[in-house]
A and B are shown apart, each in its own frame.
Chain A
Amino acid sequence: MTSLLEIEDLRVTFRTRHGELTALDGVSMRVEAGETLGVVGESGCGKSITALAVMGLVPDPPGKIAGGSIRLDGEELAGASPRRLRRLRGAEVAMIFQEPMTSLNPVFTVGDQIAEAIMLHQKVDGTRAFKDAVALLERVGIPSPDLRAKDYPHQLSGGMRQRVMIAMAVSCRPRVLIADEPTTALDVTVQAQIFDLLNEIQREFGAAIILITHDMGAVSEMADRVAVMYAGRVIETASADDVLDFPQHPYARGLIDCIPALGREDRELKEIPGVVPPLHLLGDGCAFAERCEFRFDRCDTEKPLLNRKGHHPAACHAVEEGRI
Chain B
Amino acid sequence: MSGSRGYRPESPALEAWRMFRRNVPALVGTVLLTIVSAATLYGAFFFDGNPYEIVWAPHEPPGATAEFPLGTDYLGRDIVAGLLTGGGPTLAVGAAAAAITMAIGVTLGALAGFHGGWVDNLLMRFTEFFQVLPALLFAMVLVTLFSPSLTMIAVSIGVVSWPQTARLTRAEFLKIKELEYVTAARAIGARDGRIMWRVILPNAMPPLIVSATLTVGVAILFEAGLSFLGLGDPNVMSWGLMIGANREYILDAWWPVTFPGLAIFLTVFAVSLIGDGLNDAFNPKLRER
Contact = CB atoms under 8 A, between A and B. Distances in A.
A131 to B, nearest CB: 18
A235 interface: no
B48 interface: no
Interface residues of B, number: 25
Interface in B160-203: 179-181, 183-191, 198-199, 202-203
Interface string A97-113: 10100111111110000
B12 interface: yes
A11 B183 CA distance: 22
A103 B10 CA distance: 20
Interface string A187-200: 00000000000000
A155 B9 contact: yes
Contact of A105 (B7, B199, B205): B199
- For chain B, what secondary structure do more than half of its interface residues adopt (helix, strand, loop), or is it mixed? helix
B4 interface: yes
Contact of A106 (B117, B181, B185): B181
B186 A105 contact: no
A173 to B, nearest CB: 13
Interface in B263-285: none
A121 interface: yes
Interface in A160-200: 165, 168-169, 171
A90 B187 contact: yes
A150 B189 contact: no
A94 interface: yes
A87 interface: yes
A74 interface: no
A103 B183 contact: yes
B235 interface: no
A143 B190 CA distance: 28
A-B pairs, 6 with minimum CB distance: A90-B189, A90-B188, A89-B189, A103-B184, A95-B187, A117-B188
Nearest to B205: A107
A150 B9 contact: yes
B198 to A, nearest CB: 8
A106 B12 contact: yes
A152 interface: yes
B191 A86 contact: yes
Contacts of A45: none
Contact of B187 (A57, A106, A109, A151): A57
Nearest to A121: B189
Interface string B113-146: 0000100000000000000000000000000000
A281 interface: no
Nearest to B206: A107
B197 to A, nearest CB: 13
A102 B179 contact: yes
B1 interface: yes
Nearest to A168: B188
Question: Among B189, B190, B199, B202, which residue has the most Cβ atoms of chain A within 10 A?
Answer: B189
A306 to B, nearest CB: 30
Contact of A103 (B12, B180, B191): B180
A282 interface: no
Contacts of A151: 9
B188 A89 contact: yes
A143 B12 CA distance: 23
A152 B187 contact: no
Interface in B42-70: none
A269 interface: no
Contacts of A57: 183, 186-187
B181 A104 contact: yes
A59 to B, nearest CB: 9
A144 B4 contact: yes
Interface string B84-120: 0000000000000000000000000000000001000
Interface in A223-247: none
B189 A152 contact: no
Contact of B181 (A87, A105, A155, A169): A105
Contacts of A150: 9
B12 A152 contact: yes
B12 A105 contact: no
A135 B56 CA distance: 75
A159 to B, nearest CB: 12
A80 interface: no
Contacts of B11: 152
A97 B189 contact: no
Given A57-B183, A121-B189, A169-B188, 11 more contacts: A55-B187, A57-B186, A97-B183, A97-B187, A102-B181, A103-B184, A104-B184, A105-B181, A117-B188, A120-B188, A144-B4
Q: Report which residue of B10, B181, B205 has the largest number of chain A beta carbons within 10 angstroms of its beta carbon.
A: B181
A91 interface: yes
Contacts of B189: 86-91, 117, 120-121
Interface in B1-34: 1, 4, 7, 9-12
